[in-house]
Amino acid sequence: RKRIFSGMQPTDGSLHLGNYIGALSQWIALQDSYDALYCVVDLHALTVNPDPAQLRERTRRTAAQYLAGGIDPERSILFVQSHVAAHTELAWLLSCQTGFGEAGRMTQFKDKSAKQGSEGTTVGLFTYPVLMAADILLYDAGLVPVGEDQRQHLELTRDLAERLNTRFGEGTAVVPDAHIVKAVAKIQDLQDPSSKMSKSSAGGKGVVWLLEDPKKAVKAIKSAVTDADESYGVRFDPAEKPGISNLLTIFSAVTDRDIDEIAKEYDGRGYGYLKVDLADAVVAFLEPFQARANTYLADPAELDRVLADGADRARTIARPVLDRMYERFGLLPVR
């Protein structure tokens, strides 16, 4: 069976609706047909220098949300990145195969570093995509389910894998495919439908957090930016109607209903009707999700046990792959 790998950063105590619709719900759908590894990528979160106690807490909360969403730790391997040392070991090998200019072309780095200024930007943020490539290549993953924003990083991962195979011989690395479900790969910020919903987006008013009081989600949806079309046209048209199209995408994802059918129901009726019903649908999704997450968070010892078991299983796969890389790169074996 093909192997898949994916992860999310514990950069906040809560994931948001974009993470769920664009990534987590895809992970859940894929875990039946693939051997899946789902990782809380805490080392990636270090790139923005989080508070230590907060990072630990957020790591557990992120794992609890994977479980609440439906990741089955018996079928899939659920673990924390820093528990498997081979991630950073392989990242070093890959960083010595990545061009400085090549890394400098990553648009996520340009965006995030522009916000933080050059003194606030860490070298880790720059090499982040190399660590991400290591996460994937370390498990010979063939498929990586992610949102649209990760497309460029995935391309870099593929380039690196191909480079290793050319330089060190076929079979050094598996070249992974991105699994990006176009319709849901970019949930936009409710206040700014031209930019993606993000954990680290300033203000966060346009973000629906999975673990926050559902009342706040209702407020965020009701105050979502739409447009000034006086005929209240509701249709899926991201270019002309980015705000409405985003609401329709979310509506369809949380109710499993057809997007055009929803659009037809609200067309011409005033955006308030759409927002009120969408808010209800989101609350109906959030409440049981939060109840499940809280069950896992109420027993941190059990959660840690699940994560330790996942790390053991991940290490078993990672070790021989790292050994193969070390051997191909010409590092002297221990004896």
| Shortest reach from residue 168's CB to ligand ATP, in Å | 29
37 binds ligand ATP (CB under 6 A): no
Is 199 one of the catalytic residues?
Answer: yes
Is 216 one of the catalytic residues?
Answer: no
19 binds ligand ATP (CB under 6 A): yes
Stretch near ligand ATP under the rule CB under 6 A, chosen from 29-37, 182-190, 257-265, 315-323: 182-190
Residues 6 or more apart in contact with residue 278 via CB below 8 angstroms: 221, 247, 250, 251
Is 112 one of the catalytic residues?
Answer: yes
Q: Is the dihedral of CA 233, 234, 237, 239 positive or negative?
A: positive
Q: Which residues are paired to 145 by β-bridges?
A: 179
Residues 296/60, Cβ–Cβ less than 8 Å: no
| Shortest reach from residue 2's CB to ligand ATP, in Å | 18
43: its two tokens: 């080392």
47 binds ligand ATP (CB under 6 A): no
186 binds ligand ATP (CB under 6 A): yes
Q: Which of 23, 161, 210, 253 binds ligand ATP (CB under 6 A)?
A: 23
Q: Which residue is nearest to ligand ATP (CB)?
A: 22
> How big is the site for ligand ATP, counted in residues (CB under 6 A)?
19
191 binds ligand ATP (CB under 6 A): no
Q: Which residues are paired to 35 by β-bridges?
A: 3
206 binds ligand ATP (CB under 6 A): no
- The Cα-based distances of 48 to 9, 109, 122, 125, 153 in angstroms read 11, 12, 7, 7, 18
Residues 187/207, Cβ–Cβ less than 8 Å: no
84: its two tokens: 């498997």
Residues 135/90, Cβ–Cβ less than 8 Å: no
Q: Which is nearer to ligand ATP, 113 or 165 (CB)?
A: 113
Helices marked H in the chain:
17-19, 25-30, 42-45, 52-69, 86-95, 100-104, 107-120, 123-137, 151-168, 214-222, 242-255, 259-266, 271-297, 300-329
197 binds ligand ATP (CB under 6 A): yes
210 binds ligand ATP (CB under 6 A): no
Residues 38/65, Cβ–Cβ less than 8 Å: no
Q: Which of 4, 5, 11, 64 binds ligand ATP (CB under 6 A)?
A: 11
Strand-pair category, 143-145 with 35-40: unpaired
275 binds ligand ATP (CB under 6 A): no
Q: Point out the catalytic residue in the list 186, 196, 241, 275.
A: 196
185 binds ligand ATP (CB under 6 A): yes
247 binds ligand ATP (CB under 6 A): no
Q: Which of 3, 5, 13, 22 binds ligand ATP (CB under 6 A)?
A: 22
Distance, in Å, from the CA atom of 218 to the CA atom of 171, rounded to the nearest integer, reads: 51
Q: At what angle do helices 123-137 and 107-120 cross, to 10 degrees?
A: 140
18 binds ligand ATP (CB under 6 A): yes
249 binds ligand ATP (CB under 6 A): no
Residues identified as active-site:
112, 196, 199
- Chain residues binding ligand ATP by CB under 6 A are 8-9, 11, 18-19, 22-23, 146-147, 149-150, 185-187, 196-200
